[in-house]
Structure 1
């Protein structure tokens, strides 16, 4: 009898260890896949589609845990409640409900339909409801998680005590093994999700940094290439106007040579401010390199684009640019304007036309706007 009990205990613990390994592996894979798709794992602000996917993945993990569950008729023991708790803790109600529903359907259709299975399935919805009620309190996320998991473990422990016939096995094997496995799995999974969310935040920050010009805070050349291609495609697809301004500081080399590179950097940074103040929120302003800037104007006809260019030129001309030694200088800019004409025009042609217009503005005396359309 003692030998059978030891054998049962080893089987029980090994099955729960398999459950832990499966759950942690699947959470890591699902979280990594979300990051690759540029989505934050278990994001409360996720779109409906992302919520459905998250719920489906969590439900799938729960089903997989049941496949490797410990069979102790009339109950099966596993860690399926943890994906539901984690989804309810960090996700949206839709995700948690989908996860619990998938697990419930699998439990009732693939295993025996009896009183034990009904209470087990009802428990999932009771646990997720309790978790969402906790989220409405002022408790920290850590406290909510600990209380939610405690409630889930207590519910399932009571469920097992009621339906397991041999209470000696319950107290000697099931209770200690299940509590250790449940808490270990929950804490490891929670730390893993926090890690994945931090990885996403770091990745997003690096990606954003890679597309921003460090001196002006505007888009850089890499970001400009990405945005202009997308803008041209959208404008041609929706048959909307699109204009491009290329802006170059007149005699900028003279400024650098006379006042020094720190002064030149100050001028570039302040010009970025002027452009941000002059353009619309929907416009994409970039520093394309050196003293050359650009503005992508979606939905902007040629006349409006020309007016914007002239407004920029005038604002720069009237602005006093403050240098690091607090002295002030005035600068001017030349602007080239081009307009996307027809569906057959390419991004390269649009940029070339703006560049040609800028060239003419320089050759015609600088501090002016030239149009090429």
Structure 2
């Protein structure tokens, strides 16, 4: 008896290991770069269904033997699939598990047909439950309840009065497995959320959502090297909000932050959609214009300057104010390949020195 219990316990541990490996692989490998909360495409739903079907098939292979009855965790694959993708992937998983059970694991009998119908009913049930607006833990509780009730009925239909012992073991096994899987899935989701946030914070400005200074440096060096190698046009704009300290002193830092966000949005709207926009300092932004001749860059810069000048910026109390910006523009040339940032910075300084709210070109620096 002790040996039987030990073997059963080993089988359960093996199933837990399989579930753990699959949860880790799907969360941290297959869908590692996928943002949380993004709507699934049909191809992603299909892939999730296939992965769930593979998991369910493995759980059928590594069965738990007890009292001449074979038990498995295939229902956990259905619940995990339903939580990940909703009803469509769950039905795909259910179909795969059912087909494998019918045609790959023994002959087709009345018992296997009953088990197949039970799998599809559970797939439909948990798919519906996990598609509804319940909390995470309610989805798990309701899904486990569906699995336990429907499978218990199947045990009694197939085994009659001998179905009590395997039913009790299955309910305990599924409840423990469900609790384990729920906690593990939640932990992996939190770990992924933290990882994505850390990656985002390393490259994105927390306030405006634009590239931060670190990302600007990486992209600038890449674009500069590419432009030099291919003899392409490259122009850099440095944009600075005029008298921003006065804005903070007069209206407070929360309003200053709000203005920075709005300026960032306006820069995105008025620039070309493939230009690289970054926030590189407190009130300083940069725009890297790819394959843009200098005279075209000056036209874009003037358009941006006028857009900011004419835009009513809203404060947190609903009042509106107007601000202006100064822009320094420098383009890549054979004589100034390595100091385009310095050239743009000098042009910006001249724009400030000449009265602000203007665009200044680095070409004027060499003319003077």
**Could you tell me the TM-score, scaled by structure 2's length?**
0.72
Task: State yes or no: 1:82 paired with 2:71.
Answer: no
Which residue in the other structure is 2:158 paired with?
A: 163
Give deviations 1:77-104, integer Å, cap 9, x for gaps. 2011111122113313343233223323
The alpha carbon displacement at 1:242 in A equals 7.5
- Structure 2 SS opposite 1:113: coil
Residue aligning to 1:359? 346
CA contact (8 A) 2:237 2:344 kept: no
Rounded to whole Å, the distance in 2 between the matches of 1:212 and 1:309 is 23
Aligned to 1:369: 359
Retained in 1: the 8 A contact 2:347–2:360? yes
| 1:67 equivalent in alignment to 2:56 | no
Contact 2:94 2:120 in 1 (8 A): yes
Q: Decide whether the 8 Å contact of 1:228 with 1:296 is kept in 2.
A: yes
Deviations 1:125-148 (A, max 9, x none): 211111233346554443333222
**Shift in alpha-carbon separation, 1:331–1:48, aligned structure 2, 3 A:** closer
| Gap runs ≥5 in structure 1 | 322-327
| Alpha-carbon distance between aligned partners in 2 of 1:98 and 1:233, rounded to the nearest angstrom | 48
Secondary structure of 1:294's partner? strand
2:51 maps to 1:57:
yes
1: CA distance between counterparts of 2:72 and 2:40? 29
**Matches of 1:294 and 1:231, distance apart in 2:** 14
1:276 to 265, 277, 280: 265
CA contact (8 A) 1:243 1:296 kept: yes
In structure 2, C-alpha distance between the alignment counterparts of 1:151 and 1:82, rounded to whole Å: 12
1:212 counterpart residue number: 204
Partners of 1:278 and 1:311 within 8 A in 2: no
Partner of 1:125: 120
1:308 and 2:300 are equivalent in the alignment? yes
CA distance in 1, matches of 2:296, 2:189: 43
Equivalent residue, structure 2, for 1:33? 29
Change (3 A) 1:330 1:127: closer
Match status 1:102 vs 2:89: no
SS at match of 1:46: coil
Q: Structure 1 residues 301, 88: closer, same or farther in 2, change over 3 A?
A: farther
CA contact (8 A) 2:239 2:325 kept: no
* Cα distance in 1 between the residues matched to 2:82 and 2:199: 29
Question: Once superposed, what is the RMSD of the aligned Cα atoms?
Answer: 4.6
Aligned match of 1:147 in 142, 145, 148?
A: 142
Tell me the equivalent position of 2:190: 198
What is the alpha-carbon distance in structure 2 between the residues aligned to residue 229 and residue 336 of structure 1? 17
Higher relative contact order (CA closer than 8 Å, sequence separation 6+): 1
* Kept after mapping to 1: 8 A contact 2:328/2:362: no
Do the aligned residues in 1 keep the contact of 2:53 with 2:93 (CA within 8 Å)? yes
Equivalence for 1:335: 328
C-alpha contact (below 8 Å) 2:234/2:293 kept by paired residues: yes
Contact 1:75 1:160 in 2 (8 A): no
TM-score, length-scaled by structure 1: 0.71
Instruction: State the shift of 1:64 in Å.
Output: 1.8
The CA deviation string for residues 31-69 of structure 1, in whole angstroms up to 9 with x for no partner, is 22246x22257x672334433333333222222212211
Question: Secondary structure at 1:310's aligned position in 2?
Answer: helix
Distance (Å, rounded) in 2 between the aligned partners of 1:311 and 1:202:
39
Secondary structure of 1:280's aligned partner: helix
Aligned residues: 345
Q: 1:176 aligns with which of 168, 173, 188?
A: 168
Quote the residue 2:366 is aligned against. none
- Measured against aligned partners, the alpha-carbon deviations of 1:341-366 in whole angstroms (never above 9, x if no partner) come to 9xxx9xx95x8546535535645865
Alignment deviations for residues 147-176 of structure 1 (CA, whole Å, 9 cap, x no partner):
2221112222222233337x44x323x122
- Cα 1:80–1:136 shift into 2, 3 Å: closer
